[in-house]
Amino acid sequence: MFAAWTVKHKPKTLSEVVGNEEAIEKLVSWVKSWDKGLPKRRAVFLFGPPGIGKTLSIEALANDLNMELVERNASDYRTEEAVQRFAGLASQYGTLFGKKRLILFDELDGITGREDRGGVGAITSIVKTAQCPIVLIANNAYDPRLATLRFYCQLIEFKKPLAGEVMKHLNRICKREGIVADEAALKFVAQRSEGDVRSAVNDLQALAQGKTRLSYEDVSWLAYRDRKEAIFNVLRMIFYGKSADAAKRAVDMADVDPDMLFEWIYENMPYHLRDSRDLAQAMDSLATADLYRGRIRKSQDWSMLRYVIDFMTAGVAMAREKTTPAGFVPLRFPERIRMLSKTRSERQMQKEIGLKIKRRCHISTNRATKEILPYLRIIFESNAEMAAGLTKWLDLDEAMIEYLAGTKRQTKQIIKNLS
């Protein structure tokens, strides 16, 4: 049974929260100020980018101070009646067992706009007369619709943590999971997350789960994929879409090209369509999409791209008949893309040697790489004297010699024969 590491390794106390020490200090100071009486601002408004620990800090704070946390997603309480039912009485009276209460309205962005039917006004009224601390959370506190509410709140900005802070958190997780991780690998994942701790942990799990060691090579190909969580939502829309149109619309959300999306679907489909007949039908649709991809490459007729998209999205979605939604299934990066990334330097070396052969033998680079290069390797591995002669004739550099020779010892022997 897989468990999301964002949940499994979720910080329980404020000391474990990544970054934002100054913001957390202000938050704690504000909550403790209630011990001296009602503060001037009876609500605090936390704002900043998603995934940086705003909600997590409140949960950890409640745990540290032994407070009763009453938490709701504000977007589920758009009407005045719903807000009053949730927080009206709770903000006025104490708890049954005497514990201090902390009320949290999360994702406040979700109730602004046309869908707001008195929710923001009701929250403002509660904030004015609250008898216990109230916390509001949004990505953007400066939405014009929140202007009045903002006036009655103390604003605390949460910023993206530094890569070094994210890296320390990733290292703690690796130690708990029994994974020996190279510093360069964790640094790369942390930098790629751009301060989004949640995404960094998701990346780490997808890269390291099932391993005992994580090297830089295991993560260096990360640049080949879209880090954003959008790709996960896109795949879920395709694998669990209830209509062909919904599955096809997923392509508009994907920040990757159709070829890359094809690889994502191919890699993850067997883990989401667990019924064998559903999987066979989906694979058949994906194979048809691949046929059209081949025709596009040959004919450059891009009008056929719509068939590729139809078969790899709607075709896959409609194949699901008996497969029920699974629990947490980790997202797997396309293995074929990873292998291409890991062998990129080798392929580049082969191309450069192929160009050298091309100039001397007057054949194509492709033919030189496929037909001549394998024999060169045999010569360089077994005959240092002949390899030295070919090195001069082809004008190979030391890196090319080492690639063909296979070992440093044989490379030194060939170079010795050059003089």
pLDDT, tens digit only, all 419 positions of the chain: 456 788 888 888 998 888 889 999 999 999 998 888 888 888 899 988 888 889 889 999 999 988 888 876 655 555 556 566 655 555 555 555 567 888 888 877 766 544 445 667 778 888 888 788 888 888 888 877 888 888 888 899 998 888 889 999 999 999 998 999 889 889 888 888 888 888 888 888 877 877 888 888 777 766 544 444 467 778 888 888 778 887 877 776 666 667 888 888 888 888 888 888 999 999 999 999 999 988 888 887 878 888 888 999 999 989 888 887 666 677 777 777 666 655 667 778 888 898 888 888 888 888 888 888 888 888 898 898 999 999 999 989 888 998 898 888 899 899 888 87
Is residue 68 located within the same domain as residue 115? yes
- Kindly state whether residues 211 and 168 are assigned to the same domain: yes
pLDDT tens-digit map of 145-202:
888 888 888 899 998 888 889 999 999 999 998 999 889 889 888 888 888 888 888 8
**Which tens digit of pLDDT belongs to each residue from 277-306?**
999 999 999 999 999 988 888 887 878 888
Going by C-alpha positions, the residue among 212, 69, 234, 46 that lies closest to residue 140 is 46
Same-domain status, 322 and 398: no
Parent domain of 406: 344-418
Residue 339 in domain: no
H-state helical runs in 84-226 = 119-129, 147-151, 163-176, 183-193, 197-208, 216-219
The closest alpha carbon to 8, from 203, 181, 176, 168, belongs to 176
186 three-class SS: helix
SS3 at position 260: helix
Domain boundary among 209, 224, 239: 224
**Rounded-to-integer distance, Cα 313 and Cα 251, Å:** 8
Does some domain include residue 260? yes
Q: Are residues 96 and 216 in the same domain?
A: no
Give the span between the Cα atoms of 385 and 414, in whole angstroms. 7
202 and 252 belong to one structural domain: no
Give the end of a domain, one of 291, 308, 332.
332
Residues 381, 261, single domain; the answer is: no
In the chain, the number of structural domains is 4
